Copies of this chain bind each other. A is one copy, B any other.
Amino acid sequence: MSFPLKHHRHGNCARSALARLDARAKKSGRRVTDNVKCVLSVLLSDHRAIGVYDIAAVSADHGKSLQPVQIYRALDTLMALGCAHRIESANAYLACHAEGDCTAPQIMICTDCKRVAEMENETVRAALDDATHANGFVLQNQHVELLGLCPDCSSNAVQPAQH
Given contacts A106-B131, A127-B124, contact A147 B136 (CB under 8 A): no
Number of interface residues of A (CB under 8 A): 37
CB atoms of B138 and A131 under 8 A apart: no
Q: What is the count of identical protomers in the complex?
A: 2
Q: Is the CB of B131 within 8 A of A142?
A: no
Which chain A residues (111-128) contact chain B, with CB distance < 8 Å? 111, 117, 119, 121, 123-124, 126-128
Ordered by A's residue number, 17 sampled pairs between the chains whose C-beta atoms are within 8 Å are: A3-B136, A88-B143, A106-B128, A111-B140, A123-B127, A124-B124, A124-B131, A132-B146, A132-B148, A136-B150, A137-B154, A139-B146, A140-B147, A142-B147, A143-B143, A143-B145, A144-B145
